[in-house]
Structure 1
Amino acid sequence: MAGILVVTGGSRGIGAATVRLAAQAGWDVCVNYLRDQAKAEAAAAGAREHGVRAIAVQGDMAREQDVMRLFAAVDDQLGPVTGLVNNAGTTGPAGKLLDLTAETVESVMAINVVGPFLCSREAARRMARSRGGQGGVIVNVSSRAAALGSPNEFVHYAASKGAVDSLTIGLSKELAPEGIRVNAVNPGLIDTEIHDASGIPGRLDRLVGGVPEGRVGAAEEVAQAVVWLLSERSSYVCGALVPVSGGR
């Protein structure tokens, strides 16, 4: 049964695809974005075409004040959240450990780790049965990098996603008695803007040979898994890390 969903980083890539498919499944949606208001508003407008309510709310999910403002806006405009997709994230600039700066590590950890912690806390406060909530679902967008390590390029990013995997497992056990299921998807090489932003042109073409299926994935293929985890069709799935990676 669909409800009220927050998708962080919902203006593009996997986030935007999740907004679209969730709306098709009947979820009212809050599209969170950091900078691109036009894309976020377009994603919300596209969701409303499916007969659901949708809003766009700006906020930096690494900042507690912004996270709390986001959930307050959802309370006021849509109602208590029953679904959360922690999708907002960054790779940070590519590079080897020898050239890594503290600023890069701190910024990546802030959005990729602190953000999901804060968003999950605010969502759980509203969903938890002990707080008067009706339960809900949290899906974290992790990465296959957590298991592969991304040496020579994104060890900092891989480490942050390893933390997301651990967060998923821990919260799944802590929150299940509250009626909240927590799972994660672990995308592999997916054709989104994040690769261009990382500063490595042609990265997908270079790495696709290591994918058993022989191709990169599409954002919608990840979103299909996310929306399944949000749905009652996955009602006994809790604490799962679901690879969406073509076998990589």
Structure 2
Amino acid sequence: MTRAQPVALITGASRGIGRATALKLGQAGWAVGVNYTRDALAAEQTAAEVECAGGRALTVQADVADEAAVIAMFDTLERTFGPIDALVNNAGIVAHSMPLADMDYARLKRMFDVNVLGAYLCAREAARRMSTDRGGHGGAIVNVSSAAARLGSPNEYVDYAGSKGAIDTMTLGLAKELGPRAIRVNAVRPGLIDTEIHASGGRPERAATLGAQTPAGRPGTAEEVAAAIVWLLSDAASYVNGALLDVAGGR
């Protein structure tokens, strides 16, 4: 990014990988939109830490599965900081471990509404605003997928795995679609990362237990994934487009 203070929107930035990415971008001098759905206090804390690190920050509440809320979120960020340079499509949910046969409709609908529709809506808005053929100046999108997209998560989260498979496919297609319009699109696929998402799935010990079985011998950290995201956003990755970058300790 060549602007003096580039602007990024990070969805789901109040915790975990999103929060770690916001802090790293703050350290690099970015202006960061800190999106959250419910936890305003955590989002405000993230924003404060971004500013302490040297960046600027704005908290923006929006459910990414709500089209009107997504559009308003982008509008608010651009009114405050100017044209957007980057999107980190990070917001996502998981639910309790169980085989598909035991999952109800409400769970499946919410999983795909947030993880797939939400990611598509945010990518669409970023494309509309950054594409050079629409008056934008280009930029970068990093989608946060998961190693589950290639592992399948049987008897645990096949719905989550499927939603992340859709993110991989979107990444590949958009990289070809938006590359000629000066937007690079890549994805990171985290493995067993020590974040709060495992607790929300009913297994707070999952990362530590299964992480010990990886070739790396441990779970990863949110900061390690954030480092990959920030690299993909940077000019150092200027010829990287359509990549699915595993950050999974060899799993």
Task: Please give the range of the TM-score, normalised by the shorter of the 2 chains.
Answer: over 0.9
Structure 2 residue 36 is the aligned partner of structure 1 residue 33: yes
Match of 1:94 in 2: 97
Q: What is the alpha-carbon distance in structure 2 between the residues aligned to residue 32 and residue 198 of structure 1?
A: 21
Residue of structure 2 aligned with 1:10, choices 13, 19, 31: 13
Q: Which structure 2 segments of 5+ residues have no match?
A: none
Distance 1:181 1:16, change over 3 A: same
Q: Where in structure 1 do 4 or more consecutive aligned residues deviate above 3 Å?
A: none
Structure 2 residue 231 is the aligned partner of structure 1 residue 228: yes
Structure 2 residue 187 is the aligned partner of structure 1 residue 184: yes
Deviations 1:172-195 (A, max 9, x none): 000000000000000000000000
Distance 1:40 1:201, change over 3 A: closer
Q: What is the alpha-carbon distance in structure 2 between the residues aligned to residue 86 and residue 143 of structure 1?
A: 12
Structure 2 residue 92 is the aligned partner of structure 1 residue 81: no
Q: What is the alpha-carbon distance in structure 2 between the residues aligned to residue 141 and residue 71 of structure 1?
A: 19
Q: What is the alpha-carbon distance in structure 2 between the residues aligned to residue 227 and residue 200 of structure 1?
A: 29
Structure 2 residue 158 is the aligned partner of structure 1 residue 155: yes
Match of 2:50 in 1: 47
| Paired residue secondary structure (1:236) | coil
With 167-176 and 209-218 compared, the bigger mean Cα shift is at 209-218
Match of 2:219 in 1: 216
Match of 1:69 in 2: 72
Is the Cα contact below 8 Å between 1:93 and 1:104 reproduced in 2? no
What residue identity is the alignment partner of 1:32? Answer: N
Pairwise CA distance, 1:127:
0.4
Structure 2 residue 203 is the aligned partner of structure 1 residue 200: yes
Pairwise CA distance, 1:105:
1.1
Q: What is the alpha-carbon distance in structure 1 between the residues aligned to residue 56 and residue 181 of structure 2?
A: 26
Pairwise CA distance, 1:201:
4.0
Q: What is the alpha-carbon distance in structure 1 between the residues aligned to residue 109 and residue 209 of structure 2?
A: 28
Residue of structure 2 aligned with 1:135, choices 115, 123, 138: 138
Is the Cα contact below 8 Å between 2:8 and 2:87 reproduced in 1? yes
Pairwise CA distance, 1:52:
2.4
Deviations 1:88-124 (A, max 9, x none): 0001222111201111111111111111110011111
Deviations 1:180-232 (A, max 9, x none): 00000000000000000101242223322431111000000000000000000
Q: What is the alpha-carbon distance in structure 1 between the residues aligned to residue 125 and residue 236 of structure 2?
A: 25
| Percent of aligned pairs with the same amino acid | 54
| Paired residue secondary structure (1:49) | helix
What residue identity is the alignment partner of 2:12? Answer: G
Match of 1:19 in 2: 22
Q: What is the alpha-carbon distance in structure 2 between the residues aligned to residue 49 and residue 29 of structure 1?
A: 13
| Residue-pair matches, total | 248
Deviations 1:47-106 (A, max 9, x none): 112332210011100110110110010111111111000000001222111201111111
How large is the RMSD of aligned CA atoms in angstroms?
1.0
| Paired residue secondary structure (1:237) | coil
Q: TM-score, normalised by structure 1?
A: 0.98
Is the Cα contact below 8 Å between 1:40 and 1:56 reproduced in 2? yes
Distance 1:231 1:201, change over 3 A: closer
Q: What is the alpha-carbon distance in structure 2 between the residues aligned to residue 44 and residue 203 of structure 1?
A: 29
Is the Cα contact below 8 Å between 1:108 and 1:157 reproduced in 2? yes
